[in-house]
Amino acid sequence: MERYEIVKELGSGNFGVAKLVCDKNTKELFAVKFIERGQKIDEHVQREIMNHRSLKHPNIVRFKEVLLTPTHLAIVMEYAAGGELFARICNAGRFNEDEARFFFQQLISGVSYCHFMQICHRDLKLENTLLDGSAAPRVKICDFGYSKSSVFHSQPKSTVGTPAYVAPEVLTRKEYDGEMFGPVESPYM
């Protein structure tokens, strides 16, 4: 972490804390998720790193690297300066049809790419959808902590995610078909 200077705290959650950092050499800003080393470094964190690292798409927060400090594991990623899509909707009150389409098309493009790569996010919500801060903001999907890959992992069957957003098949605790999130027609084939 010697290469980075901490600028400010971005937020915190069950995982730990997210901070804005600046690369001392390039002056580029990054977001870093700090997770306390120990029991919190479990298969979810391993999956998050493995799955997020494999995704390279303009509508997914870019994964940069993982660093270890004496006390924390640090996941360095692209900084989305525009904040959450949730906050933008709350501030606007509502979007007109063109604005909604603009953001929805980007979101679907990112989700379609995840599914093409055989990764299911499993906690997709407005709070995990960031904006890059440009004049015509680009949507950036983040937080792959609950993600599963049909290549590396078993079928998704656990109840995870934010209760208000959880799909019916998850709530009924049925093992759900991972192929349901596979591409029907994908521009990435």
Q: Does 143 participate in catalysis according to the annotation?
A: no
Q: Which of 23, 42, 98, 123 is catalytic?
A: 123
State the binding site for ATP. 33
Please report the sign of the dihedral spanned by the C-alpha atoms of residue 102, residue 104, residue 108, residue 111.
positive
Select from 154, 127, 155 the least CA-distant residue to 140.
Answer: 127
Q: List 102's β-bridge partners, or say none.
A: none
Select from 46, 39, 36, 43 the least CA-distant residue to 16.
Answer: 36
Q: Quick one: CA torsion of 91, 95, 96, 102, rounded to 10 degrees?
A: 120
Residues 78, 87, 181: CA angle, nearest 5 degrees: 65
3-state class (DSSP) for residue 183? coil
Which residues are annotated as catalytic?
Answer: 123
